[in-house]
Structure 1
Amino acid sequence: MSNMKIIALLSAFKMRWLRWPKAIRIITAVAALSFCTVTIWGAWNWQQLDSVLLKGNSRLYTVAKGAKAKDVLMDLAAEPVSPFWSVIWLKLHPEFSQIKAGTYKIEKGWNVKHALLVFVSGKEAVFSVTLIEGQRIEDWLQILSRAPYLEQPLTPDDLISLRSEFDIEQENIEGWFLPETYSYTVGTTSREILRRAHNEMKHFLEKNWNNRDKSVPYESPYEALVMASIIEKETGKDNERPRIASVFVNRLNKKMKLQTDPTVIYGVKDRYDGNIRRSDLRDDNPYNTYVIDGLPPTPIAMPGKAAIKAALHPEKTNYLYFVAKGGGAHKFSTSLAEHNDAVKRYILER
């Protein structure tokens, strides 16, 4: 359209405008001005909602059960936003509305849209706790009590209720939990972590018991678990575990006492101060394998997967003895004379 035509149209509109009653002209002008104002204001709010940043630094943010996206949006925004336009904006962006309750990690520099999408995904902040092989249940209770955002810490007094809740037959629940790193979200309890560890141990033990070397002298999976706990305490070297297992299996087959120090330590409990005394070796308790025949009544620690596999698949050897020779390694012997020489070399002359 040419400039002349535009000028002609404007002139015609002006003439008609001037013929309207004054009141109508005022109302029309006010309406037009209001429309322009609302449009500009709406456009500004719309642009703001599309780009507004989160207030504060990186942190955890909890979306309460039943929380509305509008309220969360207004709470998170670094700048004031219009409740009216927030509702309109969310109506036209339904993908941001279906937020899920939970605790999430939000990062400094994110915009509100990014945070809302995380809340819609339900991907809550994840933490982890590592339960270490070779430790006792009392040690694990302390680890769990220090784990961030893990609720309802347990004490040794809770072990009886755990035994009943997890349907553990033995009075001592030692050994019945698999050492692993367990992930969790805010609100998870220590009990839930131990329940998962117990279920993992049951499944792992059952699977490996079914695939065991049929020559091992255990009468039940539980006896294998007891043996695995001893292996776990005797060595931390993966390549030595099956050989350590062979020593204990050979001794069981020959009706020899196991004579393993970690069971002595477990039996004397709090009396152990870092040194095993002659009186400890003679102590008449069910865990003292220098006194009892065969395996102790329960595991003496939490065995890991490698120790369980070693117990069920020991090396085929003639070894009956071993002694630590430094660096976590051991010297293995087939006879008492050879073992005594090794003790003299690696222990007495050290």
Structure 2
Amino acid sequence: MHLFKKLFLAIVAFALLASALVAYWAHRPILAPGQAPVAFAIEPGSSVRSSTRQVSAAGVPVNPWLLELVARLSGKATRLKAGNYELKPGSSPMALVDQLVRGEFAQEALAVIEGWTFRQMRAAVAAHPALKHDTVHLSDKELLAKVAPGREAAEGLFFPDTYLFAKGSSDLQIYRQAYALMQKRLDEAWRRRQPDLPYKNPYEALVMASIIEKETGQKSERRMIAAVFVNRLKRGMLLQTDPTVIYGMGERFQGNIRKRDLLTDTPYNTYTRPGLPPTPIALPGAESLEAAMAPAPIEALYFVARGNGTSEFSNNLADHNRAVDKYQR
């Protein structure tokens, strides 16, 4: 009996020591500060045992059996989520288990730039190595049917922003996020619009915003540029904006716009056709959307670049010609 008691106490002591050692190990950093993060993936349908072995096999320097033990002792073994992850320096085995439970996937980023065309956006998405490229072989029309059924033209429908996603995500996710965000921003701006604007619907305002986006990089001038185009529309004047002509030229544009280009009719040539072009010509940002809905309270009908990034605005043709002589000729 005395021997049995000693054996029992030894077992208890060993269990307590083992538990203490596991607890100590569970809260020690796996990667030391300064070490490179390690990427790994958990396949869908994996058990806790399979998951911990996948973590170890991917190069995370952790004992898979002990990691499984920590997951089981914490009661989280059945809650691990499949996906692509990244272990950062300082994370402990317990923190790693919590990361897998919360589904804190490795984050990648893709920047969509204001003023890009949809073609440029597609090229950036197709070139991103962390995306699953489900749309690369689709035409613009086929892609749009998956993202925004019923829409006929993709240009301008996607909001320029930086999009975060889990490594290995479908590129459709980016397009759907960017489309939804543009609709949200456009609707918000439309509800705040000034009265008596010459737009029949939010889409026409989006077209205007895209022209403003391409006409100036100066934030302070966007509302003034908008005022010029709105004033011209109200008077039935041609918009006569070069960016629409360039967009209509497509691949024929080689960096310089010539007089014959201004005279060659296309659906986007605002020197030959009245009103707005049929679609946006770029992806407008928030400030261009706001400018289109709230033009500056000025009577200007013309503007010309000064050569320093700003523009000279004129209310009549005579003043505009003088400004052209001064800054362009």
Q: Shorter-chain-normalised TM-score: which range?
A: 0.7 to 0.9
Partner of 2:259: 278
Greater shift, 201-210 or 334-343, is seen at 201-210
In structure 1, distance between residues paired with 2:13 and 2:61: 23
User: What is the deviation of 1:39?
Assistant: 6.1
- Deviation string 1:227-285 (CA, Å, 9 cap, x unpaired) is 11111100111221111011011111111111100011001111111100111011111
CA contact (8 A) 1:145 1:153 kept: no
User: What is the deviation of 1:171?
Assistant: 3.1
Aligned-CA RMSD value: 3.0
Change (3 A) 1:169 1:44: closer
Partner AA of 2:227 in structure 1:
S
In structure 2, distance between residues paired with 1:54 and 1:97: 22
Change (3 A) 1:164 1:251: same
- Deviation string 1:70-98 (CA, Å, 9 cap, x unpaired) is 444455374657x5x77665543224663
Partner of 1:7: none
In structure 2, distance between residues paired with 1:278 and 1:66: 64
Partner AA of 1:126 in structure 2:
Q
Change (3 A) 1:339 1:156: farther
CA contact (8 A) 2:115 2:283 kept: yes
CA contact (8 A) 2:70 2:93 kept: no
User: What is the deviation of 1:321?
Assistant: 0.5
In structure 2, distance between residues paired with 1:146 and 1:269: 22
In structure 1, distance between residues paired with 2:69 and 2:188: 57
Change (3 A) 1:280 1:156: farther
User: Over alpha carbons, which structure has the higher Rg?
Assistant: 1
In structure 2, distance between residues paired with 1:89 and 1:183: 31
Structure 1 unaligned spans of 5+: 1-12, 18-27
- Deviation string 1:22-71 (CA, Å, 9 cap, x unpaired) is xxxxxx69x97899589659845861564166478521221222333344
Partner of 2:21: 47
Change (3 A) 1:86 1:186: closer
Change (3 A) 1:325 1:62: same
1:298 aligned to 265, 271, 279, which one?
279
In structure 1, distance between residues paired with 2:185 and 2:280: 16
In structure 2, distance between residues paired with 1:96 and 1:345: 75
Partner of 2:172: 191
In structure 1, distance between residues paired with 2:191 and 2:61: 60
Partner of 1:344: 325
Greater shift, 118-127 or 50-59, is seen at 50-59
Structure 2 unaligned spans of 5+: none
In structure 1, distance between residues paired with 2:75 and 2:289: 52
In structure 2, distance between residues paired with 1:89 and 1:154: 41
Secondary structure of the corresponding residue to residue 94 of structure 1? coil
In structure 2, distance between residues paired with 1:261 and 1:288: 8
Partner of 1:63: 42
- TM-score, normalisation: structure 2: 0.86
Q: Does 1:180 align with 2:154?
A: no
The equivalences for 1:239-258 within 5 A come to 239-258=220-239
Greater shift, 323-332 or 44-53, is seen at 44-53
CA contact (8 A) 1:134 1:233 kept: yes
User: What is the deviation of 1:103?
Assistant: 1.8
Change (3 A) 1:325 1:155: farther
The equivalences for 1:72-151 within 5 A come to 72-73=51-52, 75-76=55-56, 78=61, 83=65, 90-95=71-76, 98-151=79-132
Partner AA of 2:40 in structure 1:
Y
- Deviation string 1:80-134 (CA, Å, 9 cap, x unpaired) is 57x5x77665543224663222222202453322211211222222222111111
User: What is the deviation of 1:204?
Assistant: 2.0
CA contact (8 A) 1:96 1:117 kept: no
Change (3 A) 1:209 1:80: closer
Partner AA of 1:245 in structure 2:
A
Partner AA of 1:62 in structure 2:
A
2:199 aligned to 206, 218, 226, which one?
218
In structure 1, distance between residues paired with 2:322 and 2:25: 77
In structure 1, distance between residues paired with 2:172 and 2:72: 42
CA contact (8 A) 1:96 1:113 kept: no
